[in-house]
């Protein structure tokens, strides 16, 4: 099916699961047929766990390779009152992970023996040589990394030579050679059989604290799950993978804490209040589009320590003060982001490049703001549906942020060209690297060749998946309630999408401050439901052209509606949130 309003967007209906499984789910849950179909599609073996994973879905932290070693070394450090230096990455995943480790260890150590650094963009991701020198000069005996370290072989070797042990907690894909650390806790290790490879960095850090508490006979540290939920959603890791639902359980329990006004982070709760987020209705979108950008603004346009201090403060007035600083950073970030995206678009036009033909976007600019590169790459990836690599050229070296689409593995791509980089790392969908300027032309040529070899799938229109075909009569409070039980949504557990065929549209009107939204009613077989189409006001003509309900004409294009089930608080009824208008 082809979109009538969005260029280069096409849809397919997901294959039907077996009827017996759909019937089993429908009977067991007394749920709607459409919901049973969605659930059967997503998990054939563990559909009950997908609805309500609960804490029982959490695996033992000791199932992760090297966890025993890490806990043993940490226990010894606590017993001998050693000085411990935590180094976390500067994005929300690293910040929350560092906060969990810091708050988890603080009550177990004497004052002045625990220090945290969250890094900054000036030194890049991971451990820096400056950090190594400080750890040595300040006589620390143990370093713990969070959301980094798996590729810091040289830095960890230097620490070891100085008599400092390192515990690596990370979730990035390792290279062929692992660092010489006391323990390397990373579920992405090829020799690790942990069931959930998709833990975020904060998830791995939480597992270390959970294992330590278990070893010491202390209660499970579930109060940290507010921060785990924040970092997990912000890092866009899969919440579910078939029957594997541990990340979904972590996020769901974290949301439960926030709903009750509980959790380890007072600063997070004060920030939610400042942003007018209702804790009883918190969603993954609130995290992804409101909270995380404010925290990330610290590393893009200011000092990441401000965000860390907010997440760990216990004083309401201090939280208010730190939030004001973050909001100032965010305003600066918004200005810089718009400027960089405009420059990138201008360069793309000047180069005469065709992203659809090339299968990839590669742009570079002198002294581009490194804190905004990832945002610009995400913007271009969303717009053109191809991988985007945005590079900031310095005097001698350059740094890049990369974002991808389904079907293009960035981690594999960068690994293939690892000999060209000074440093690199990341996931399938997001990565980064640093490189000598003289190597840039060779890299660009190689990347274009690599993208071409991925086949025409990247250059064709990507297909998006519809969960089920429904009728207006099926879109009721029962379906909405069923669907809500699948929240929070995210990668691996997306917000269900439905298709409504052969419908007409009544009472179309433009709403919003700039008339950018479209609302109206969808009619099918004499039944009607309200709909809202955000940012589709400019496409009102497509809705009017698709059908002419004011005349005796029947359908003119055979258009259908792709939508999500929502609840209109003002009307007190279910409504459709339009995702697209399509034709077969």
Q: What is the mean pLDDT of residues 523-542?
A: 90
Among 47-51, 79-83, 282-286, which is the least confidently predicted range?
A: 47-51
The whole-angstrom separation of Cα 482 and Cα 415 is 42
| Beta carbons within 8 Å of 317's beta carbon, 6+ residues apart | none
pLDDT of 201 above 90: yes
Q: Of 201, 151, 156, which Cα lies nearest the Cα of 175?
A: 151
The CATH number of domain 343-451 is 3.10.310.30: yes
pLDDT of 268 above 60: yes
Q: What is the mean pLDDT of residues 331-340?
A: 93
| Residue 196: DSSP 8-state | -
- Chain centroid offset of residue 447 CA: 25
Q: Decide if 81 contacts 222 (C-beta within 8 A).
A: no
Percent of the chain surpassing pLDDT 70: 96
Q: Decide if 330 contacts 301 (C-beta within 8 A).
A: yes
- The whole-number pLDDT of residue 556 equals 44
Helix (H) or strand (E) holding 454: none
What is the band of 455 on the pLDDT scale with cuts at 50, 70, 90?
low
- Output the DSSP codes for 129-162: HHHHHHHHHTT-SEEEEES--TT-HHHHHHHHHT
Helix (H) or strand (E) holding 58: none
Domain boundaries, the chain: 2-31+467-583, 57-324, 343-451
Tokens standing for residue 176: 């062929």
pLDDT of 549 above 60: no
Helix (H) or strand (E) holding 479: helix 477-484
> What are the start-end ranges of the E strands in 33-135?
84-88, 114-117
Question: What fold is seen in the domain 2-31+467-583?
Answer: OB fold (Dihydrolipoamide Acetyltransferase, E2P) (2.40.50)
Residue-wise pLDDT for 494-517, tens only, equals 999 999 998 888 899 999 888 999
Tokens standing for residue 160: 């070891």
pLDDT of 554 above 50: no
- The whole-number pLDDT of residue 44 equals 80
Q: Under the phi-then-psi rule, with left for phi > 0, alpha for psi from -120 to 50, and beta for the rest, what region is 240? A: beta
| Residue 353: DSSP 8-state | -
* Class at the top of the CATH hierarchy for domain 57-324: alpha beta
CA-based max dimension of the chain: 85
Residue 366: phi, psi to the nearest 5? Answer: -65, 125
- The whole-number pLDDT of residue 551 equals 43
Which class for 478: exposed (0-12), middle (13-18), buried (19 or more C-beta within 10 A)? middle
Question: Where are the alpha helices (H) located in 223-265, listed in sequence order?
Answer: 225-234, 246-259
Q: Is the dihedral of CA 122, 128, 134, 139 positive or negative?
A: positive
pLDDT of 531 above 50: yes
Q: What is the mean pLDDT of residues 542-569?
A: 70
Q: How many CB atoms lie within 10 A of CB 295?
A: 28
- The whole-number pLDDT of residue 558 equals 58
């Amino acid at each position: 099916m082809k979109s009538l309003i969005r260029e280069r967007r096409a849809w397919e209906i997901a294959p039907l699961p077996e009827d017996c499984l759909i019937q089993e789910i429908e009977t067991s849950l007394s749920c709607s047929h459409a919901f049973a179909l969605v659930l059967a599609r997503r998990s054939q073996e563990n559909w009950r766990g997908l609805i309500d994973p609960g804490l029982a879905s959490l695996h033992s932290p000791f199932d992760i390779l090297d966890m025993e070693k890490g806990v043993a070394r940490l226990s010894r450090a606590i017993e001998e009152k050693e000085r411990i230096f935590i180094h976390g990455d500067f994005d929300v995943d690293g910040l929350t992970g560092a906060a969990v480790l810091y708050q988890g260890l603080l009550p177990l150590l004497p004052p002045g023996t625990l220090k945290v650094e969250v890094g900054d963009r000036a030194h890049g991701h991971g451990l820096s040589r400056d950090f190594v020198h400080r750890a040595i000069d300040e006589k620390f005996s143990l370093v713990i990394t969070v959301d980094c370290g798996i590729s810091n072989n040289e830095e960890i070797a230097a620490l070891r030579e100085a008599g400092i042990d390192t515990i690596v907690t990370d979730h990035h894909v390792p290279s062929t050679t692992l660092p010489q650390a006391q323990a390397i806790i990373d579920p992405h290790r090829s020799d690790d059989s942990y069931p959930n490879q998709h833990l975020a960095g904060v998830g791995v850090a939480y597992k270390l604290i959970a294992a330590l508490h278990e070893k010491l006979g202390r209660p499970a540290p579930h109060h940290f799950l507010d921060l785990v939920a924040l970092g997990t959603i912000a890092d866009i890791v899969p919440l579910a993978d078939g029957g594997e639902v541990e990340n979904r359980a972590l996020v769901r329990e974290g949301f439960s804490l926030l709903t009750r006004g509980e959790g380890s982070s007072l600063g997070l709760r004060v920030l939610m209040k400042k942003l007018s987020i209702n804790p009883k209705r918190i969603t993954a979108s609130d995290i992804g589009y409101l909270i995380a950008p404010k925290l990330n603004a610290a590393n893009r346009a200011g000092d990441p320590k401000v965000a860390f201090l907010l997440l760990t403060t216990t004083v309401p007035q201090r939280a208010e003060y730190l939030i004001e600083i973050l909001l100032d950073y965010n305003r600066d970030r918004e200005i810089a982001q718009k400027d960089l995206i405009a420059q990138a678009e201008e360069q793309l036009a000047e180069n005469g490049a065709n992203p659809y033909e090339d299968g990839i976007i590669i742009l570079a600019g002198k002294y581009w703001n490194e804190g905004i590169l990832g945002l610009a790459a995400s913007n271009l990836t969303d717009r053109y549906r191809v991988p985007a690599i945005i590079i900031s050229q310095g005097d001698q070296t350059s740094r890049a942020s990369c974002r991808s689409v389904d079907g293009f593995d960035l981690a594999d791509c960068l690994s293939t060209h690892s000999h060209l980089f000074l440093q690199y790392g990341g996931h399938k969908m997001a990565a980064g690297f640093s490189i000598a300027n003289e190597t840039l032309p060779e890299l660009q040529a190689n990347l274009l060749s690599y993208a071409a070899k991925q086949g025409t799938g990247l250059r064709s229109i990507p297909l998006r998946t519809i969960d089920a075909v429904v009728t207006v009569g099926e879109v009721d409070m029962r379906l909405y309630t069923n669907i809500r039980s699948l929240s929070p949504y995210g990668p691996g557990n997306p917000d269900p999408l439905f298709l409504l065929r052969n419908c007409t549209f009544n009472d179309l009107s433009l709403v919003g401050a700039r008339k950018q939204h479209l609302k109206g009613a969808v009619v099918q077989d004499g039944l009607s439901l309200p709909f809202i189409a955000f940012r589709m006001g400019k496409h009102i003509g497509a809705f009017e052209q698709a059908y002419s309900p004011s005349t005796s004409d029947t359908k003119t294009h055979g258009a259908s509606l792709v939508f999500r089930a929502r609840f209109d608080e003002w009307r007190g009824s279910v409504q459709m949130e339009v995702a697209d208008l399509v034709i077969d």
